[in-house]
Amino acid sequence: MLRPPRSNSKTRTHAIELRKELTPTERKLWAIIRNDQLGVNFRRQHAIGKYIADFCAPRKKLIIELDGSQHLEQEAYDEERTKYLESQGYKVIRFWNNDVTNNIEGVILVIMNTLEKQE
């Protein structure tokens, strides 16, 4: 029996477009978490339902979101989105862009600690 798709074709197409246009902050984190460098397979711009997660480790059910200043004005949307993703079994962790830029080691430490708890 086939599983239902995790997203719709419009959202998946948009995710593919976003993969080609990573922000500098996304690019910096992706360089460290790609290719199983943390022992886990991450995907970038991963469509789930009507949402697109910045980074997702599907087998660990972990989503990493990077927030810039625009997120200060969209708290309700981010909260709704996080609730949906958590309802699908995912753990969502968020970092401000300046955390990735100025403290990448701390960000990676939080990711590693969260991955250990997801076991």
Cβ partners under 8 Å of residue 18, min gap 6: 45, 52
Inside any domain, residue 45: yes
Inside any domain, residue 101: yes
* Pairing between β-strand 43-48 and β-strand 51-57 as defined by DSSP bridges: antiparallel
Inside any domain, residue 103: yes
Contact status, residue 49 vs residue 88, Cβ threshold 8 Å:
yes
* Number of domains forming the structure of the chain: 1
Look at residue 1 in the predicted model and tell me its pLDDT. 64
* pLDDT tens by residue, 26-41: 999 999 999 999 999 9
Contact status, residue 44 vs residue 57, Cβ threshold 8 Å:
no
Inside any domain, residue 22: yes
Q: Residue 43: pLDDT band by 50, 70, 90 thresholds? A: very high
Nearest to 89 by CA among 118, 66, 51: 118
Inside any domain, residue 1: no
Inside any domain, residue 70: yes
Contact status, residue 31 vs residue 19, Cβ threshold 8 Å:
no
Full residue range of the structural domain in which residue 83 is found: 9-117
Element (H, E) at 14: helix 9-19
Retrieve residue 1's tokens.
């029996």
* Domain CATH code at residue 79: 3.40.960.10
Inside any domain, residue 2: no
Inside any domain, residue 77: yes
Contact status, residue 57 vs residue 15, Cβ threshold 8 Å:
no
* pLDDT tens by residue, 44-55: 999 999 999 999
Retrieve residue 52's tokens.
């697109």
